[in-house]
Homo-oligomer: A and B are copies of this chain.
Amino acid sequence: MKAAIFKEAGKIEVGELPNPIIKEQTDAIVRVVLACVCGSDLWYYRGISPHPVGSIGHEFIGVVEEVGIEVQTIKKGDFVIAPFAFSDGTCPNCKADFQTACVHGGFFGAGNEGDGGQAEFTRVPLADGTLVVVPGSNFSDETLASLLTLSDVMGTGYHAAVSAGVKQGDTVAVVGDGAVGLSAVLSAKLLGAERIIALSRHPERQALAREFGATDVLASRGNDAIKTIMDLTDGIGVDAVLECVGTNEANQTAFAIARAGAIVGRVGVPHDVEVPATGTFYRNVGMRGGPAPARAYIPALLDDVLEGRINPGRVFDFTTDLDHIQEAYAAMDERRAIKSLIKVGTM
């Protein structure tokens, strides 16, 4: 089969890999319809995180081709969304809806566990716990793109908002204007935030942030952003902060603009971040978050997509196919694209 293959930093090519087969009887084989490139895939592309030569990608939707004999709820022909982590759905962490900590689980396309999803086919371990069947058929391209976001980016933005405890009427700040940050804006809106302050300096991202529900867009960063947000909130700070970057500067901004008692919902993977243990303490500022249990959020967000309440697929502004996978990465790496969609197959 045709698949994206990570060769080395800066080089991801299309190539041939053996078709995946059922290894465990709880597996399913999925024929990929749409895949996409994640901001975290760029770490490998940029050589920041190591990745072995081989398949890559962890966001995909597709059609079930085959299932192991122990698979009970998923069947051949089902149109499914795969979250970026596979999970058994039955362990204590899955039952608590933290499937990214599943005691038998793992991650797609990270090079050491599950296969990659930027491929014509992929093996899905623990199919019953992992996959969510999408009801219906004949979806528009727009709906398909939105369904694809539930595998990671929209679930991750939503996790930031849920972790930060966003509730009706809140004033929320979103740090980061990547596809996750934009999804976090949309999630804050979905959870009833009244005022959403997005930090963004790119015109096209600012526009999408406003479309997703941002009421204020700030181009400033660091201390300037902190000062502006404190002024906007009469010196009190915001009710919830969604941290969608992961750098130390973004985290310091996030902690500084949180009002007393607020929570910073972190989904940006921390790189050299120092959490101010005392500064947060005296102001009762909390933090939550981590790798999003996307699996937990798919059922509800699926309804939101199918019933037209949200259109998170708007984050895709570059579309290509597997043959041009390197361009999908390059466009994001060079910030020409917010997020790249990859058309792999048909339904």
Question: Is A93 on the interface with B (CB-CB < 8 A)?
Answer: yes
1/0 contact string of A248-292 vs chain B (CB within 8 Å) = 000100000001110100100110011101101111111111110
| Chain B nearest CB, measured from A287 CB (Å) | 6
Question: Is A24 on the interface with B (CB-CB < 8 A)?
Answer: no
Question: Is A326 on the interface with B (CB-CB < 8 A)?
Answer: no
Is there an interface contact between A260 and B163, defined as CB atoms closer than 8 Å? Answer: no
Is there an interface contact between A96 and B261, defined as CB atoms closer than 8 Å? Answer: yes
Which residues of chain B have C-beta atoms less than 8 A from A291's C-beta?
281-282, 284
Is there an interface contact between A284 and B98, defined as CB atoms closer than 8 Å? Answer: yes
Interface of A is mostly: mixed
Q: A92-B234, A277-B274 are in contact. Are A288 and B290 (CB under 8 A)?
A: no
| Chain B residue nearest to A276 in the complex (CB) | B275
Give the distance in Å from the alpha carbon of A290 to the alpha carbon of B277 in the complex. 10
Is there an interface contact between B261 and A270, defined as CB atoms closer than 8 Å? Answer: no
| Chain B residue nearest to A91 in the complex (CB) | B236
| Chain B residue nearest to A270 in the complex (CB) | B277
Is there an interface contact between B274 and A280, defined as CB atoms closer than 8 Å? Answer: no
| Chain B nearest CB, measured from A13 CB (Å) | 30
Is there an interface contact between B266 and A101, defined as CB atoms closer than 8 Å? Answer: no
Give the distance in Å from the alpha carbon of A177 to the alpha carbon of B287 in the complex. 25
Question: Is A235 on the interface with B (CB-CB < 8 A)?
Answer: yes
Which residues of chain B have C-beta atoms less than 8 A from A284's C-beta?
98, 100-101, 163, 288-291, 293
Question: Is A103 on the interface with B (CB-CB < 8 A)?
Answer: yes
Write the residues of chain A forming the contact surface with B, with a CB cutoff of 8 angstroms: 92-93, 96-98, 100-101, 103, 163, 234-236, 251, 259-261, 263, 266, 269-270, 273-275, 277-278, 280-291, 293
Q: List 8 A-B contacts (CB under 8 A).
A: A92-B259, A93-B260, A96-B259, A103-B236, A269-B281, A281-B291, A284-B290, A284-B293
